[in-house]
Amino acid sequence: MKKKIKQSGHNKLSCWFELSYASFLTLPRVAMEAMPDEWQGKMADLLNELDDEFPKFPAFHYMVQRKEGNKFSKFPRWMINYRYPDYKEIESWRDKQCG
């Protein structure tokens, strides 16, 4: 039996980014709002904690663009329309394979 090695929080976060050179985390709002209410509360608490820790962080404006292959492309309407989410499409993102 393999012994599970406990990772530090720093290591867990670094591993989440894998070996990418990503400097930012961008998540679709429709996916986050499709998560259970408890998860959404925890996420909001963590984001508020981050804001509280860095109250003087510069108010930059960011822009997210989508690429398919080497070409920029528009986001599908169902992905950016968080007020009227396409629940069927969002559910298709979940991996619900029997196993």
Instruction: Please state the domain extents for the chain.
Output: 10-91
What is the pTM (predicted TM-score) of this model? 0.75
The arithmetic mean of pLDDT across residues 66-85, rounded, is 91
How far CA 10 is from CA of 6, 17, 32, 35, 53, in Å, comes to 12, 11, 22, 24, 17
CA 37 to chain centre: 16
Q: Residue 16: which pLDDT band, with cuts at 50, 70 and 90?
A: confident
pLDDT at 95 > cutoff 80: no
